Amino acid sequence: MLLSSKKRVELIKFKKKLKKPFKTSFDELKFREIFLIRIIEGSFEGWGEIVAEKDPLYSYENNKTAETIIKDYLIPVLKKTLIPEEFKKKASKIKGHMMAKAGVELALWDLKAKKMDKPLYKIYGGVRKKIPSGISIGIKESIDELLETIDNSIKKGYLRIKLKISPGKDLTVLKEVREAFPDITLSVDANSSYSPHKHFKLLKRFDEFSLLMIEQPFYEDDLFYHSKLKNEIKTKICLDESLTFLRKVIEGYEMSSYDIINVKTGRVGGPIEVIKINNFAKTKRIPLWMGGMLESGVGRLHNIHLATLSEFTLPSDISESSRYWDKDIIKEPVKMFEPGYLKPSNQPGIGEEVILPDKINIQKFNL
């Protein structure tokens, strides 16, 4: 029962130091600018995370564009409805800005689940009881540091190691890693740093390293050149950046641009789109896995619930809270319950209490 008719949105931002800098082909992050949304209805509250970063380097969105879109376009939609499906429909008029939309939709699902007194995964129709957990390892200064990081990750139980690569930081690294760890499940993520005109031959040599997949070698919106590469390489192609919503997933499938999809809740615009992609993947037998955007506990818990969907068979990029944070912002941090596996909470909604740091920037809007 709603004890009062109070309805409010809060946008919450704070900086959080990463345990170690995270280096990719496009950036070196020392801090994460966390952007949360809380939607309050009576005595219930729903939490979402907007996974855009400070700078628009992974995609065109950043936290400032997301904030503008939420304030100018999505809060007006929230004034009309707090029902996730209706929100999604009305918000779809706004072009793009998937991470902004996803953050809001996540908060609405958490709110809805709490009102229904059910854990999110049950509302989504999740079936998986154990989420296989992998780890994404940034580009390291030295090979020794990389080998040590891999060794520690394997010892912690992670079931798949993903290495960030970029042109020139690839074949020699892979050779060393494979020599040291001949049997681990290994994949690579290029974050669109290779050129289809310059690097085709180089990429074909990746076949020597029996990788589980190569993720997004080419441009962040490309389907065409990935299709050409898939035709000529044995290693499976996984797309991340290019697949921004279901229609792109279908187009990429029709064009044979990929074998595997890294699904990110933020990138594709929220849980409803994730469910649609899961349903499509089921009819076409496309393996899925849940990606990550260095989320705080809020986004991490949401991702775990969604990774219970039927087609999320491959190890995810959802790692333990301790992968990035000394102290996460949820009461019980995300942790493997047995080596290699995470599981969703059975408490209502995301299933954990959020504990904000002292220093935050908060903006409140009545609905």
The residues of the shown chain that bind Mg ion, judged by CB under 5 A, are 189, 215, 240
Q: Does the active-site annotation cover 71?
A: no
The one catalytic residue in 23, 112, 162, 264 is 264
Write the CB contacts of 133 (distance below 8 Å, at least 6 apart in sequence): 157, 158, 159, 315, 316, 318, 319, 320, 336, 340, 341, 342
**From 101, 112, 162, 164, active-site residue:** 164
Structure token digits, residue 92: 């779809």
Whole-number minimum distance, CB 189 to Mg ion, in Å?
4
DSSP string across 176-220: HHHHH-TTS-EEEE-TT-S-TTTSHHHHHGGGGG--S-EE--S-T
Least separation in angstroms between CB 111 and Mg ion: 29
- Name the binder of 317 from Mg ion, ligand OSB, none, CB < 5-8 A by kind: ligand OSB
Q: Label the pairing between strands 28-41 and 7-23.
A: antiparallel
Helix (H, G, I), strand (E, B) or coil at 33: strand
- Residue 136 touches which member of ligand OSB, Mg ion, none, C-beta under 5-8 Å by kind: ligand OSB
Q: How far is the CB of 189 from ligand OSB (least distance, A)?
A: 5
Beta-carbon contacts of 297 under 8 Å, excluding residues fewer than 6 positions away, are 321, 325, 328, 329, 330, 333, 334, 352, 354
63 or 136: whose CB is closer to ligand OSB?
136
Nearer to ligand OSB, 47 or 58 (CB): 58
User: Two tokens at 302?
Assistant: 């949401």
Residue at shortest CB range from ligand OSB: 292
Nearest alpha-carbon partner for 37 in 319, 314, 280, 302: 302
Contacts with ligand OSB by CB under 6 A lie at 58, 136, 189, 191, 240, 291-294, 317, 319
Beta carbon of residue 67, minimum distance to Mg ion (angstroms, whole number)? 24
Note if 264 is an active site residue: yes
Answer with the entry of Mg ion, ligand OSB, none that 292 interacts with (C-beta below 5 to 8 A by kind). Answer: ligand OSB
Closest to Mg ion by CB, 240 or 352 = 240
Active site residues: 164, 264
